Amino acid sequence: MSKASFVYVTYIATTPEKVWRALVETDVTRQYWFGPDASDPGHVNVSDWQPGSPWEHRRMDEAHTVDLVGRVVESSPPRRLVLTWANPRDAADEAEHSRVTFDIESYRNLVRLTVTHEDLDQDGDMLEKISGGWPKVLSNLKTFLETGRPLPQSRS
């Protein structure tokens, strides 16, 4: 079965170090990582960020529900982070993991952040979730880093 890939690019007026921290430090991540669902309480990414280590995408509700899991494939701060990406039910089945690469590059006086999401099953629910989710998360990240403020999220 053929696999789907997506590439998302955003240009942010900030530094590579700040983009890196926004991806891996929970107190930064929770301020912008909201999906398209207005009831999303926010998410953080939890790991020691060493190659081979597990990582978790945790919901910022009281239960800290784990919505995604995977492994750290490559961790080269502040330039490149490569993760595998899966539903928790598929944690042990590496064949079901897709792959996400964050490339952080200086571009003139900006940072170009490229998110490449590969090896997605065409018929899986993950495809639908991420194609609504990534543009929203990256737009939020840009606003957050450029204004330095938590988002005026309409939580209606």
Give the residue among 150, 35, 39, 23 at the shortest CA–CA distance from 79: 23
| 105-134 residues near other proteins, rule: CB under 8 A | 110, 114, 116, 134
- Of these, 10, 14, 29, 98, which contacts other proteins (CB under 8 A)? 10
Euclidean distance between CA atoms 112 and 58, whole angstroms: 26
Minimum CB distance to other proteins smaller for 89 or for 149: 149
Q: Where are the alpha helices (DSSP H) in the chain?
A: 16-24, 26-29, 125-147
In angstroms, give the least distance from the CB of 53 to other proteins: 27
Compute how many residues bind other proteins; rule: CB under 8 A: 20
Q: Decide: is 26 part of the binding site for other proteins (CB under 8 A).
A: no
Q: Decide: is 15 part of the binding site for other proteins (CB under 8 A).
A: no
3-state secondary structure of 134: helix
Minimum CB distance to other proteins smaller for 82 or for 110: 110
Segment 90-96 long-range contacts (CB within 8 Å, at least 24 positions apart): 96/121
Binding stretches for other proteins (CB under 8 A): 4-11, 110, 114, 116, 134-136, 138-140, 142-143, 154
